[in-house]
Amino acid sequence: MKKVKKTQEQLVIDLKEQIGLLEDAIQKVNSGDFKYSKTLSGILRILVIKTPTNKPLLFSLAQEYGFMPKVVIDSPFGIKTTSLKKHLKALFFASGTEKISISNEEFIKIASQQDGGSHVDPEIDFGYQFANEGILIGGFPPKVLKLRILANHVLKVSKELLSAIETKNKL
Task: Give residue-wise pLDDT tens across range 8-30.
Answer: 999 999 999 999 999 999 999 99
d(CA 69, CA 114) in angstroms, rounded, equals: 27
Between CA 56 and CA 51 the distance in angstroms is: 8
Sign of CA dihedral 158, 128, 120, 34: negative
Give me the pLDDT at residue 110, please.
84
Contact yes or no for 62/69 (Cβ under 8 A): yes
Local structure of 59: helix, strand or coil? helix
Residues written for the chain: 171
Query: Residues 97-133: pLDDT tens digits?
Result: 556 678 899 889 888 887 765 656 666 666 666 566 6
Radius of gyration of the chain (CA): 16
Which residues, including other chains, have CB under 8 Å from residue 94's CB and lie 6 or more apart? 100, 101, 102, 127, 130, 131, 142
Alpha-carbon distance values, 21 to 27, 28, 102, 116, 164 (Å): 10, 11, 26, 17, 20
Residue 140 — pLDDT band, cuts 50, 70, 90? confident
Report helix, strand or coil for 91. Answer: strand
